Amino acid sequence: MLSVSGLIMQFGGLRAVDGLSFEAKTGDITAVIGPNGAGKTTVFNCITGFYRPSGGSIDLTHPGGASHKLHTMPGHRIASAAKVARTFQNIRLFAGMTVLENLLVAQHNTLMAATGFGVLAVLGLGRYRAAEAAGIEKAKFWLDAVGLTARADDPAGALPYGAQRRLEIARAMCIDPVLLCLDEPAAGLNPRESDELNQLLMRIRAGGCSLLLIEHDMGVVMRISDHIVVLDHGKKISDGPPAEIRNDPAVIAAYLGEGEEDEVPA
């Protein structure tokens, strides 16, 4: 599905990602974890086109067989053509627009194609009306999935925090992604909301979308991920299924701090 190889991201003298390679398989939930400042969000920004990598390659192969070189594509094409959706660590909704409008903006390219360069739709001709009805149906489906149908006409900025997180995921799903990248989706959620989030993510995976997530909440990571990649200082220090990662001494050392050299290992 997603294959990252030799990824390097250099900011001036700082090498935030240093030769990272990993694979995310189709239909898997792949988690990227690591201590603060390990370069997780930088990797995400490279994959979703917000940064142009200094080196290495990122290849995405659709289940249908089409292949995209994400490291050479402009940012918006990664979402519209390669079908990679993302959410943000600090939620980025269109706060002054309603929940429904947020979901319709996400379907911009599909709807825009039906407007006949805008002219026909402004005149009320063409197939835009049908396209918008279909768009609203899709929005309704995702509103239902995240439990926000009742609040569809409220401004997104007025929703409580947990609902904003869910709305951002629903909005990302409205571009029909093959890969959904979630940047700390469980941050700031209470245990019950966190459980609901797990179920939502499982449901998205069952719908045929692969997931890549950055997460600090180990409960979420260990429960739902099929595969974990551990980063530290921009390098991969471990890679494997949750059970393996849990017992990897390198991972434990990275999280709890390495022992002093003269210290006797316990």
Partner 1 sequence: MTALRDAFLSALVALGLFAPLVGLVTTSGEHGLYLELRPIATAVVVGLVFLGRLIVLSRRSRGRAASLAAKPALAERISKAGKYVTPLLLIAAVALPFTGSRYYIDLGTLVLTYIMLGWGLNIVVGLAGLLDLGYVAFYAVGAYSFALLATNFGLGFWTCLPLAGIFAAFAGVMLGFPVLRLRGDYLAIVTLAFGEIIRVVLINWVSLTNGPNGITGIPRPTLFGLALSMDGGPGTIAGFFNVEPAVIQRIIFLYYVILGLALLTNWVSLRLRRMPLGRAWEALREDEVACRSLGINVRNTKLTAFGIGAIFGGFAGAFFATRQAFISPESFTFIESATVLAIVVLGGLGSQLGVALAAIVMVGGLETLRDFLSFLGDQMNSPLFSGIASELPLYRMLIFGLALVVMMVLRPRGLVSGRTPSVALHKVKDIAPDLVAQGRG
Q: Looking at beta carbons only, is 11 or 255 nearer to partner 1?
A: 11
Q: Which SS3 state, helix, strand or coil, does residue 183 take?
A: strand
Instruction: By CB under 8 A, tell whether 236 contacts partner 1.
Output: no
Residues 99-118 that bind partner 1 (CB under 8 A): 100-101, 104-109, 111-112, 115, 118
Instruction: By CB under 8 A, tell whether 129 contacts partner 1.
Output: no
Q: Which SS3 state, helix, strand or coil, does residue 107 take?
A: coil
Q: Looking at beta carbons only, is 158 or 253 nearer to partner 1?
A: 158
Residues 165-194 that bind partner 1 (CB under 8 A): 171-172, 175
Count of CA atoms in the C-beta half-sphere (13 A) of 148: 30
Going from the C-alpha of 263 to that of each of 127, 232, 250, 258, 259, the distances in angstroms are 73, 22, 16, 10, 6
Distance separating alpha carbons of residues 78 and 50, to the nearest angstrom: 10
Q: Looking at beta carbons only, is 79 or 197 nearer to partner 1?
A: 79
Distance separating alpha carbons of residues 90 and 103, to the nearest angstrom: 18
Instruction: Please pick, from the candidates 88, 89, 134, 248, the single residue that binds partner 1 as defined by CB under 8 A.
Output: 88
Instruction: Please pick, from the candidates 6, 37, 63, 96, the single residue that binds partner 1 as defined by CB under 8 A.
Output: 96
Q: How far is the CB of 86 from partner 1 (least distance, A)?
A: 5
Q: How far is the CB of 118 from partner 1 (least distance, A)?
A: 5
Strands of 227-232's sheet, edge to edge?
84-86, 179-183, 210-214, 29-33, 227-232, 235-240
Instruction: By CB under 8 A, tell whether 70 contacts partner 1.
Output: no
Q: Where are the beta strands (DSSP E) in the chain?
A: 2-11, 14-24, 29-33, 55-61, 67-69, 84-86, 179-183, 210-214, 227-232, 235-240
Distance separating alpha carbons of residues 148 and 154, to the nearest angstrom: 10
Q: How far is the CB of 115 from partner 1 (least distance, A)?
A: 6
For residue 188, what are the contacts with CB-CB under 8 A and spacing of at least 6?
A: 161, 162, 165
Q: How far is the CB of 216 from partner 1 (least distance, A)?
A: 21
Using DSSP bridges, classify how beta strands 179-183 and 210-214 pair: parallel, antiparallel or unpaired.
parallel
Q: How large is the greatest C-alpha to C-alpha distance in the chain, in angstroms?
A: 79
Q: How far is the CB of 169 from partner 1 (least distance, A)?
A: 12
Binding mask of the shown chain, residues 24 to 63, with x at each position contacting partner 1 by CB under 8 A: ------------------------xxx-------------
Q: Looking at beta carbons only, is 161 or 255 nearer to partner 1?
A: 161
User: How many residues of this chain interact with partner 1, rule: CB under 8 A?
Assistant: 49
Q: How far is the CB of 94 from partner 1 (least distance, A)?
A: 4
Question: Residue type for 34, please?
Answer: G
| Interface with partner 1 (CB under 8 A) | 48-50, 75-81, 85-86, 88, 92-98, 100-101, 104-109, 111-112, 115, 118, 121-122, 128, 132, 136, 140, 143, 149, 152-155, 157-158, 171-172, 175
